[in-house]
Chain A
Amino acid sequence: DTGVSQDPRHKITKRGQNVTFRCDPISEHNRLYWYRQTLGQGPEFLTYFQNEAQLEKSRLLSDRFSAERPKGSFSTLEIQRTEQGDSAMYLCASSARDSFNYGYTFGSGTRLTVV
């Protein structure tokens, strides 16, 4: 499978716990994006990487959120001290820099429920 892979698919956690999600992009894609989507809304941009460099972070990404892409391949998104408002689908997408006109390919997402 050469698509974008996200793990886990589902995560239920207690408020205050830390969670970490992983994304493996399409191998030849050097851009990787994280989005968050809540019910009835479109995906909201969180952050993106070009190779290992984090080029932009949304103001939605509070201090409790951190993302890394250490070797320019897979990426992790960590949420510390989770809150109920963090419950959402977290989507990862990738693209090749020169293929911006072709849009992104999304992974299946990680659905987070904070109880």
Chain B
Amino acid sequence: RKEVEQDPGPFNVPEGATVAFNCTYSNSASQSFFWYRQDCRKEPKLLMSVYSSGNEDGRFTAQLNRASQYISLLIRDSKLSDSATYLCVVGREKLTFGTGTRLTIIP
């Protein structure tokens, strides 16, 4: 079983729609949780940290459920510029990345 599992997609979503990504992780000792965004042939960039209390950054909302070892990302009112691969990331001393979910926003 992979340490971090994500639906690879692709997700093709019309502009303005809401899209949700899910991720599960296997190491219950994990302490840090993130979503990273990666554009084609670029390096991953931190999108947001994820907390049990949930956190929001503009159109993006992330949620952590430690009991279920489950992480989610919600994007509201999607923009063309949101097209990218979204990586679920979990860690303690080092970070472990999921395979990523590819999102394409369609005009």
- A residues with a Cβ closer than 8 A to B are 33, 35, 40-45, 48, 55-56, 91, 100-109
Q: Which residues of B contact A56 (CB under 8 A)?
A: 93-94
Range for the number of chain B residues in contact with chain A: 20 to 34
Contacts A45-B96, A103-B95 hold; do A91 and B49 have CB atoms under 8 A apart? no
A35, A100, A103: the one contacting B46 at CB < 8 Å is A103
SS of A interface (majority): mixed
Indicate whether B54 reaches chain A with its CB closer than 8 angstroms. Answer: no
Contact at B44–A43, with CB atoms within 8 Å? yes
SS of B interface (majority): strand
Q: B1-27 CB contact bits vs A (8 Å, 1 = yes)?
A: 000100010000000000000000000
Closest to A105 in B: B46
A42 to B4, CA, bound (A): 10
Contacts A101-B32, A102-B49 hold; do A45 and B94 have CB atoms under 8 A apart? yes
Q: Which residues of A contact B98 (CB under 8 A)?
A: 42
Contacts A108-B43, A109-B43 hold; do A103 and B93 have CB atoms under 8 A apart? no
Which of A43, A91, A109 counts the most B-chain CB atoms under 10 A from its CB?
A43
Contact at A106–B45, with CB atoms within 8 Å? yes
A45 to B44, CA, bound (A): 14
Contact at A91–B43, with CB atoms within 8 Å? yes
The 9 closest A-B pairs by CB, nearest first: A42-B97, A106-B43, A103-B46, A43-B97, A42-B99, A103-B34, A42-B100, A42-B98, A42-B87
Contact at B32–A100, with CB atoms within 8 Å? yes
Closest to B4 in A: A42
A1 CB, nearest partner CB in chain B, Å: 14
A100 to B89, CA, bound (A): 13
A19 to B73, CA, bound (A): 39
Which of A35, A56, A91 counts the most B-chain CB atoms under 10 A from its CB?
A35
Indicate whether B36 reaches chain A with its CB closer than 8 angstroms. Answer: yes
Residue pairs across A and B with Cβ atoms less than 8 A apart, 19 shown, are: A40-B8, A40-B99, A41-B99, A42-B97, A42-B98, A43-B97, A44-B97, A45-B95, A48-B94, A55-B93, A91-B43, A101-B32, A101-B49, A102-B46, A102-B49, A105-B46, A106-B43, A106-B44, A107-B43
